[in-house]
Structure 1
Amino acid sequence: MAGVVQDMEITSPPPDGISDLSFSSQADYLAASSWDNQVRIYEIQPTGQSILKASYAHEAPALCVTWSKDGSKVVSGGADKAGRMYDVATGQSTQIAAHDEAIKSMNFLDQGQQILATGSWDKTVKYWDLRSPQPIGTVALPERVYCMDSRQQLMVVGTADRHVVLFDLNNPTTIFKQTVSPLKWQTRTVSCFLDGSGYAIGSIEGRVGIQYLNEKDQTRNFSFKCHRDDAKNVYCVNDISFHPVYGTFSTCGADGTIVFWDKDSKQRLKSLPKMNDTIACTTFNRSGNIFAYAVSYDWSKGYKFAAPGNTNRIMLHSVQDQDIRPKNMPQQR
């Protein structure tokens, strides 16, 4: 997307709320899950133009989506209590996971191509080997899963009532540590550092917490305010996405803004122009030079504001190196 200055809109976006976005780690293919029960897969061309390549359906709203590590499969979870997998090569979709309630989050573990973790409102995390119809492990949690992320040996699950459950993926069926969010209000999103040494957590009150795992790093923990306006209105932090190269990160909010941050220098790097609607979810592509974000209703004001005329757009932002590079890193020559 060299030379693209203005953010470009993806063609054929979902007609209903966009719940999650995920780029393949192998190519510029973007998957989007939506409240219209569909998961769509787009090819992003070097020009920034997009082509809708495929779609498949859940039987209720699709709430989360991610890619297998080798880029050959897309998996998604939905309010139909099912995890579904789309095979890019064959174009076939199959059910590969099941819970007693909606599946809200899922992640492929770094330990193996085929092991998938699913988190549900039924207060469990289940692990699945995609070659087997039964889970290979189930862990009971204190509350419903709202968000989940994994990187390296770390998996972090944020649940209702501000519980944060940490897993060491060397022993995935045992809870490694259970704690409470450093933020005072409901957890909205969680994202692991690239090296698995900690995580960022966002809440409904416009605040993000940076948390390290090791005792010796605890002094580096901090929280900061974001997604608030001059009138002292406070907005949800809807998503946190780490840059795949630099480890800096983005936050997006119900205030229609996106900000890039450097946690190590505790500085704001760049703010994108404010949108007229809420930003529901975000993701970087594998090289970090394309940033996708969904301008879509985020349910922060309840069902009464989920109007048929709401905007649903997926935008592509061409990431400039100086906007995302850490402050203390010298510029590449």
Structure 2
Amino acid sequence: MNDTSQYELYDPPTDGISQVCFSPYDNNLLLVSSWDKSLRLYNADTKQLLEKFETEAAILSCCFGDDDMVYFGGLHCRLQSINLKTKQRSTIGPHAQPISCVCYSPLTKRVYTGSWDKTLCAWNPMAGKLDTKTELGQKVFSMDINEYKLAIALGDRKTLIYDIRDLSKPWQERDTSLRYLLKCIRLMPNGEGYALSSIEGRVAIEYFDMSKEVQSKKYAFKSHRSVIQDTEVVYPVNSLAFHPRRGTFATGGSDCVINIWDGVHRKRIRNIVGYPEEIASLAFSKNGDMLAIACSYTFDEGERDHAPDTVFIKRIQDSDVAPRVVASS
């Protein structure tokens, strides 16, 4: 790509990037998990690979915790941790099937895992034990946490919102207007709602306040589509990422395109093209001045030739993410 605002990280994964995740404490630290059975830690500013941790199975999700800790899970069906300072590894506990999502809350000091075994688990990592296990009835496809809210996208296209202080029942259980399998759910930084994407090239914007006035603001829109030989081709929207300060959000699709949206004013701010492969995962840095982009084939077309896996870092200017100014009449 001929884009001076972005660059590639050195020594990328070699097989299917599953997640990119910035540290909430250090703006430059980036975790990258992969199907190549590795967890990589980068300095995103200098492009350097700082650490590479080999594991026995593909990693599907990772996150930062407190005090130099990182957590991850995947096909090995166990929640594991690494202390980045001492390099000590620990196994916290198992699921019956692969772990698809891992989130950490600094408020409760707990790690939350969603799995293909259709459960949500809350773990006490310091004690190395399970706190609670909640049966969900469906596989967990995506998960996100913000303050005390935990959002879960399930295999039956329902979404569950939990207050992590009480996992005995969902705070809200929501149907979605999206008609096909869900791909990604991300909570708004302001706590008012969430964005949800699917394989059908659509994104839904939902709000928690159930008043008629607020619910009238929710909507779904088409994205990541193109016309090829007079036929509309629809691509999965694999990833979503909210900008931490501006509240606008990025979407990454299997069309190898990134769009940045102003969800409030229902406008697209930027259309970024030219990536060599599908966009598998996105994450903004802590202060929002970098966007990590996992460029990696997601196998939604089965086996095919594909470009090597790459992690790009795009420097973000305020004009890239600032909401659209709507002129008053």
* SS at structure 1 position matched to 2:226: coil
Counterpart Cα distance in 1 of 2:190 and 2:238? 23
Q: How does 1:92-103 map to 2 (within 5 A)?
A: 92-103=88-99
Asked if the contact 1:258–1:274 (Cα under 8 Å) also holds between the matched residues in 2, the reply is: no
Query: Taking structure 1 as reference, are residues 219 and 132 closer, same or farther at Cα in structure 2, changes over 3 Å only?
Result: same
Alignment partner, residue 226 of structure 2: 229
How many angstroms apart in 2 are the aligned matches of 1:175 and 1:301?
A: 35
Where in structure 2 are the equivalents of 1:265-304 lying within 5 Å?
A: 265-302=265-302, 304=303
1:75 equivalent in structure 2: 71
Partner of 2:15: 16
| Total equivalences in the alignment | 319
1:192 equivalenced with 2:187 (yes/no): yes
Identity percentage of aligned residues: 29
Unaligned runs of 5+ in 1: none
* Deviation, structure 1 residue 329: 9.3
How far does residue 57 in structure 1 lie from its aligned partner after superposition?
A: 2.9
Contact persistence 1:152–1:195 (CA under 8 A)? no
- Distance in 1 of aligned mates of 2:283 and 2:125: 25
1:42 matched residue in structure 2:
42
Q: Could you give the per-residue CA deviations for residues 124-153 of structure 1, whole angstroms, max 9, x where no partner exists?
A: 000001122321011100201110011122
Per the alignment, residue 121 of structure 1 pairs with: 116
Q: Which residue of 2 aligns with 1:53?
A: 50
Unaligned stretches of 5+ residues in structure 2: none
Shift of 1:177: 2.5
Work out the CA distance in 2 between the residues paired with 1:50 and 1:17: 19
Query: What is the TM-score when the length of structure 2 is the normalising length?
Result: 0.93
Q: Is the 8 A contact 2:114 2:140 kept in 1?
A: yes
Match for residue 210 of structure 2 among 208, 215, 240? 215
Q: How does 1:135-146 map to 2 (within 5 A)?
A: 135-146=130-141
> Which segment is superposed worse, 17-26 or 88-97?
88-97
Q: Could you tell me whether the CA contact under 8 Å between 2:276 and 2:307 is conserved in 1?
A: no
- Matches of 1:77 and 1:185, distance apart in 2: 26
Contact 1:260-1:269 at 8 Å conserved across structures: yes
Matches within 5 A, 1:151-162: 151-162=146-157
| 1:18-38 deviation digits (Å, cap 9, x = unpaired) | 000001112111100000111
Deviation at 1:175, TM superposition (A): 1.8
* In 2: Cα distance, 1:319 partner to 1:207 partner: 24
Q: Given that residues 44 and 313 in structure 2 are in contact (C-alpha distance below 8 angstroms), is that contact kept between their aligned partners in structure 1?
A: no
- Consecutive aligned runs of 4 or more in structure 1 exceeding 4 Å deviation: none
> What's the secondary structure of 2:293's corresponding residue?
strand
Q: Is the 8 A contact 1:42 1:52 kept in 2?
A: yes
Cα root mean square deviation, aligned: 1.7
SS of match in other structure, 2:63? strand
TM-score, normalization by structure 1: 0.92
Letter in 2 for 1:281: S
Counterparts of 1:197-208 in structure 2 under 5 Å? Answer: 197-208=192-203
1:7 and 2:2 correspond:
no
Q: CA–CA distance in 2 between the matches of 1:154 and 1:121?
A: 21
Quick check: 1:151–1:195 contact (8 Å CA) kept in 2?
Answer: no
Q: Is the 8 A contact 1:22 1:65 kept in 2?
A: yes
Cα distance in 1, alignment partners of residues 259 and 77 from structure 2: 33
